[in-house]
Amino acid sequence: MKTLLASLVLASLLCSCSTTKPKAENTSAEVTPQAYISKEPATPQDELAALKDGNRRFLNNQQLGHDFHYQINKTKDGQKPYAVVLSCLDSRVPVEVVFDQGIGEVFVARVAGNIENNDILGSMEYGTAVVGAKLIVVMGHTKCGAVKGACDNVKLGHLTELLKKIEPAVKNVKSTTPNFNPESYEHVDHVSEENVRLTVGRIRKNSQIIRDLESQNKVRLVGAMYDISSGNVKFLED
pLDDT in tens, 59-69: 999 988 888 88
Check pLDDT > 60 for residue 71.
Answer: yes
Question: Where in the sequence is the domain holding 209, given as residue range(s)?
Answer: 38-236
Per-residue pLDDT band for 35 (boundaries 50, 70, 90) equals very low
Residue 171 lies in a domain: yes
The Cβ of residue 146 has, within 10 Å, a number of other Cβ atoms equal to 24
- Report the alpha-carbon distance of residue 104 to residue 81 in Å, rounded: 6
Q: Is residue 158 part of a domain?
A: yes
What does DSSP assign to residue 35? -
Q: What is the CATH number of the domain that holds 183?
A: 3.40.1050.10
pTM higher than 0.75: yes
Which whole number is the average pLDDT over 65-85? Answer: 88
Given a contact cutoff of 8 angstroms between Cβ atoms, the answer to whether 187 and 202 are in contact is no
Q: Is residue 13 part of a domain?
A: no
- The pLDDT of residue 74 is 87
Mean pLDDT, to the nearest integer, of 135-141? 98
Q: How many domains does the chain have?
A: 1
Residue 208 lies in a domain: yes
**pLDDT tens, 145-198?**
999 999 999 999 999 999 999 999 999 999 999 999 999 999 999 999 999 999
Whether residue 60 is contained in a domain is answered as yes
Residue 7 in any domain: the answer is no
Q: 18 lies in a domain? A: no
**Residue type for 186, please?**
E
Q: b/e per residue, 19-50, with b = 16+ CB within 10 A? A: eeeeeeeeeeeeeeeebbbeeebeebeebbeb
- Domain membership flag for residue 12: no
Q: Bigger pLDDT: 100 or 24?
A: 100
Alpha carbons 17 and 27: distance in angstroms, whole number: 24
What is the rounded average pLDDT of the residues 83-107? Answer: 96
